[in-house]
Amino acid sequence: MMPWRCWHELSGSRGSSTEGFGAGMGKIRIVAQPSAIPVNEIDAWCRNHALHASHAAFTRHLVLAMDRRFLAIRAQQIKSGVDAFFA
């Protein structure tokens, strides 16, 4: 449960980059691509919740894995949305 709590609580600390896509006749789509949760934020969360070193390592590993998957899914959603917008 701790990795899920960590991932959800830290989701607001992720950054994002903005990209714009344009086509002829003024059709424009601007999207925000999220970036990964910083590892130092995960480590600080573990320290603030007084996790033992082994639990902190486990939590860090799972949060990073969940975040990679989230970013892959979000990238696919953005691509599908842009493709549908310009279809």
pLDDT tens sequence across 6-42: 999 999 999 999 988 888 777 888 999 999 999 999 9
Tens digit of each residue's pLDDT (9 = 90 or more) over 66-75: 999 999 999 9
What are the structural domain ranges in the chain?
Answer: 36-87
pLDDT tens, residue by residue, 50-60: 999 999 999 99
Query: Is the CA virtual torsion 50, 54, 57, 58 positive or negative?
Result: negative
Distances (CA, A) of 86 to 16, 24, 30, 35, 37: 23, 10, 12, 24, 30
| Residues 41-50: tens digit of each pLDDT | 999 999 999 9
